[in-house]
Structure 1
Amino acid sequence: MVSRKTGSLIGSSFLLCLALLVSLSLPVRAEEKTIDVVIETELGNIDVRLYPERAPQTVANFLRNMDAGLYNGGQFYRAVRMDNQRPARTTITLIQGGRNLAKKPLTAIPHETTKMTGISHQNGVISMARLAPGTADTEFFICVGDNSALDYGSDRNPDKQGYATFGVVTTGMDVVMQIQSQPTNVPMEDPSSPVKGQIMEHPIRIFAVSRK
């Protein structure tokens, strides 16, 4: 019988190999405009393709933040895995990060649902973090595996509005998974916090985000 630790390592290795072999992208419609950007981190680069025709407000907001330099010096600080979330909740697996906290965020944007964009939270998809709908500003996350529980209509959140997807990783999922594997379990002031056990002991720096 394989131990839990060994099984976890085997599973992680399989997913890493899959991420390295598969080039991710969404089906591009005829003459559809896309924008390629690169997220430079201390563990390597993550190339992302944005879809401004499907998620115009969300893409414009991300580019606005990027052009303002808000992500330069930011960090990925949250890693959600199978081993650090409450089993009673619908499972999600992702990494989350955002702006340099020394820089003031810009105005929050209206919420564009996955029903509007047609982009589901699948492996490599990038999406905006939020509290209530319409509060997203700079925080974003990248999915590892199927996270359709974050789509419009899901009851994971009481409002059932899901999160705003706007692009997909084309190369660099190996970097995403290295970030996701970082040690977590930073103590929380609120023991009931939904992110308890998911905050990295050593957040991964974002050097810059720029157009390719």
Structure 2
Amino acid sequence: MAHRSSLAAIALCIAPAVSAQNGIPLAPAVPAYAVPVPAAPAPTVPATAIRVVLTTSEGPMTFALDKDHAPKTTANFLRYVDQKRLDGVTFYRAMKLGNGVGLIQGGAKGEPKRVLPPVAHEPTSLTGLTHDDATISLARFAPGTGTADFFITVGAIPYLDADPKREGDNQGFAAFGHVVEGMDVVRRILDAPTSATEGVGAMKGQMLAAPVRILTVRRAK
């Protein structure tokens, strides 16, 4: 199926290049040395951040998008918001790393009628942003392939940052904002049951048994 073959992945691995099996990209496990960091105090949100309210079947979240540091990735997300292309998609993945740390992933899963052309990659080494607690970041295959799928961290996961010293795909993921309200909803989704059989490779066991519906995504008034 087309949407399955386009499923956006997060490559958390010793050699972060994304491979595929049966047309679905794999997301290998976090290496033992990449220890997740517990939640830290929320970072300062720029006064110029653009607020977006994402309403789910579990409750609302408010995002603050950092257009100053990640202008291309922010503009990409806002294209989907303004064209209402994220209305009706789901959070479909919960990667649980232990001790309450992990991430949830949602988006269009490559659904052709929703997906726009990909955006140029903005690595954290360029933007100065990091994957700390409550970070919003763009899911991707290779750098420059991100479209309509995104993830939210619970706790800091620094291995998602760009690291030029790492072998292979070392460009990390494009962080572009933070959740400023609704992290209780994010944690509830992270804690939700996952299917023991859904998913491929290291993603097996990470797909939500009951995906959480995203009802609407709108700029805050």
Answer whether TM exceeds 0.5 for this pair.
yes
Aligned length, in residue pairs: 180
Q: Does 1:108 align with 2:118?
A: yes
Cα distance, 1:154–1:61 mapped onto 2, change above 3 Å: same
TM-score (norm 2): 0.75
Q: Does 1:118 align with 2:128?
A: yes
The whole-number CA distance in structure 1 between the counterparts of 2:193 and 2:75 is 33
- What CA RMSD, in Å, does the superposition of the two structures yield over aligned residues? 2.3
- CA-CA distance at 1:155 after TM superposition: 7.3
Q: Does 1:72 align with 2:80?
A: no
Q: What residue number does 1:61 align with?
A: 76
Q: What residue number does 1:86 align with?
A: none
Q: What residue number does 2:150 align with?
A: 140
Q: Residue type matched to 1:98 in 2?
A: G
- Unaligned ranges ≥5, structure 2: 1-37
Q: Does 1:171 align with 2:181?
A: yes
Q: Secondary structure at the match of 1:116?
A: helix
- CA-CA distance at 1:69 after TM superposition: 1.1
The whole-number CA distance in structure 2 between the counterparts of 1:105 and 1:211 is 19
- CA-CA distance at 1:146 after TM superposition: 1.1
- CA-CA distance at 1:116 after TM superposition: 1.1
- CA-CA distance at 1:185 after TM superposition: 2.4
Residue of structure 2 aligned with 1:127, choices 119, 137, 143? 137
* 2:89–2:214 CA contact under 8 A, matched in 1: yes
- CA-CA distance at 1:82 after TM superposition: 2.5
| Offset from partner CA, 1:59-82 (integer Å, 9 cap, x none) | 000000111111100100000102
What is the percentage of aligned positions where both structures have the same residue?
41
Q: Secondary structure at the match of 1:49?
A: strand
- Unaligned ranges ≥5, structure 1: 1-14, 84-91
Say which structure is richer in helix.
1
TM-score (norm 1): 0.78
Q: Residue type matched to 2:102 in 1?
A: T
